[in-house]
Chains A and B, each alone.
Chain A
Amino acid sequence: MDILSFKVALAIYFISALGYLTSLYVRRVLVAKIATWVLTVAFINHTIFFVFRYAGTGQIPIMSLHETLSFFAWAMSGIYLAFQLKTKTRILGAFVSPVAFLLMILASVGLGGPVSIPPALQGNLVPVHVALAVMGEALFALASLAGAMYLIQEGLIKNKKMSSFTRILPSLTDLDRINHISLLWGFPLLTLGILVGSIWARTVWGSLWQWDPKQVWTLTAWIFYALILHQRIAIGWKGRKAALSSLLAFGFLLASFVIVTLCFVTAHTFI
């Protein structure tokens, strides 16, 4: 049952992504509106999957790599849909839903297999650590997607290339606001995630910090984000610079994830 709801969610994410991309192509907001509803259905299905999964295994389903990726997709879609209620930035879904879909594809590899958790990761704090960190990163992903769209829209307006494309993209202020709010929420979530992780590390390994490669890379990204937030809030960075830096920061976060996973032995190796 859980597998089925996952597959259904995957298929609906795909339809939603197609819908959003079509709306970009035909330049009609109506298509995006429909795609938003489709995405909502996918999200609900996805939620059902988590519920079934939890009921089936008795553990919070964010322990394995595929579960984490799928949780990432779920968190990102959910947060985007929540934004959707506040601002009329439907077209942003054209960037969010394909990413969610790709994450789901990756997540579907090794789906449903039994998850054996090494003793070091068996504890109540671990899912909390993962959930907080993934939520924070999902918000950063959203910030970077909004930032990317901002850069496109800004480039069009700045260079006087106003077209039907500009017309369906959200306004600069709305995109900037999403970028800002995502950073504003993502940062404390990631911070909490890191803190919970290090508290758990102390109970397992005896010290808060192990100089694990993953920890080092993430901390660097964290400092990067701290700087961006500082520039935004204290210096008053807005618009292009803020969008560009959040995009770069997320690129860094992503690169660190890939490099660490491929090149280093770490306590964060996913199962």
Chain B
Amino acid sequence: MNIILIGMNHKTAPLEIRERLSLACGDDVTLLMEMIKMPRIKEVMYLATCNRVEVLAHTADTEDTVERLKEFIFRHGNLSVEEMVNCLYLYFDHDAVRHLFRVASSIDSMVMGEPQILGQVKDAYRRSVEHNATGIILNRIIHHAFRTAKRVRTETGIAGNAVSVSFAAVELAKKIFGSLKGKTILLIGAGEMSELAARHLINNGVDRIVITNRTYERAAHMAEDFQGTAIEFELLPEKLRDVDIVISSTGAPGYVITVPVIEAALRRRKNRLLFLIDIAVPRDIDPAVGDIDNVYLYNIDNLQDIVDNNLKSRVKEAQKAEIIIEEEVVKYQEWYNALEVVPTIVSLRGKMEGIVKGELARSGSWMQNLTDEERKNIELVAVSIINKILHDPITGLKEESRDQSALPYIAAVRRLFGLDDI
């Protein structure tokens, strides 16, 4: 198939390395443009989230492209080769397809079943499409991945229970504070995951929310959404005296909350317990803050451990999902195998003949008044019409197949005539 998937995720690479890579990979589009310009790469999609970096490529020369992509990642990751080699994984053909299906279905996620990843894959795909980096093969794989994800979501309980970072955060908050009634959250920065965590906490009893952001307008806007209060970013250390739960997810390169800031706040808050959640990559809160008494600091990797426990009880659901994914990989392979001239011509003919048979059968009631010979003639006319219609497309396909560029035509024919019953 000549499909390659190269990448690293939270399982293969520690937070520190992902941190550096995601810093380096801030500007997705230039990277995408650089990759699509590589010789022999036909199609490419690039996905970077805080938990993973993946490149999916369709190429004419697997070996050559693998080398180029590796070199590309080493260069942009700004990491030593030894560091990277252990973190990278590489999949080919149907393994690559399976991996993407698993990623999109959130089976491979740090928090299995979390819904964000599908949106992130969609965004990555849209970027590729906008820059003409995808074609028949990737379009098919990725659309198939979306379908698979949808099936997994609806047919298994994997997403039914909120198995997510936000759920883990709520569970922890309850183990720290007991009831969340009367508690206050401070939301620093914006982000899908942190907002989700905040919403979960609010649904579980937290009744006040304070929002801050480097740009005050953004905070004010979010505060409206959450029916909370927005404060200036500079007031953050002061506000730490009053709140119980802090969720931080800024894009800041350095620490936003440091040990002296927390220590000062704790004195003022008479050591009331403080729960800090650091969702940002790179981290917002100095890890040393976690050593302070009565302060509980969890970063995104720590939350994973809890979630892993939650996931144990959902192993059955995941197994169901794997079966669905396997089915879909097989379906994809069937589609891909059919993507050749001869099977396409066969199924095109088959489809037409089926239509003729069907129509003749439907007309059977009025045709019974005709003689056998008349009926035979009608059949002959019908068959010769389809032969005439099919003549040019079939000749065209056969001609194209001589110089390896038949793929788009085959795919188009299969799509236009609905030859794939998927």
Q: Which residues of A contact B (CB under 8 A)?
A: 87, 153, 157-158, 160, 162-164, 166-167, 169-174, 236-241
Contacts and interface: CB of A to CB of B under 8 A. Distances in A.
B300 interface: no
A162 B306 contact: yes
Contact of A239 (B175, B294, B305, B306): B294
B293 interface: yes
B309 A240 contact: no
Interface in B175-225: 175-178
A171 B275 CA distance: 13
Nearest to B291: A158
A170 B175 CA distance: 7
Given A170-B178, A171-B175, A162 B273 contact: no
Q: Which 3 A-B pairs have the closest CB atoms?
A: A236-B270, A171-B178, A238-B271
A83 B302 CA distance: 33
B267 to A, nearest CB: 9
Given A153-B175, A157-B296, A162-B172, 5 more contacts: A160-B306, A162-B309, A173-B177, A238-B270, A239-B273
A160 B294 contact: no
A163 to B, nearest CB: 6
Contacts of A173: 176-178, 273
- Size bin of chain B's contact surface: 20 to 34
A237 B175 contact: no
Contact of A172 (B175, B270, B290): B175
Contacts of A157: 172, 175-176, 296
A239 B172 contact: no
Given A157-B176, A162-B305, A238 B294 contact: yes
Nearest to A174: B178
Contacts of A153: 175
B273 A172 contact: yes
Contacts of B175: 153, 157, 162, 166-167, 169, 171-172
A87 B271 contact: no
A210 B272 CA distance: 42
Contacts of A241: 293
Nearest to B290: A158
Nearest to A163: B309
B298 interface: yes
A218 to B, nearest CB: 29
Contacts of B178: 87, 170-174
A241 B266 CA distance: 14
B357 interface: no
Nearest to B304: A160
A18 to B, nearest CB: 26
Contacts of B176: 157, 171-173
B174 interface: yes
A238 B298 contact: no
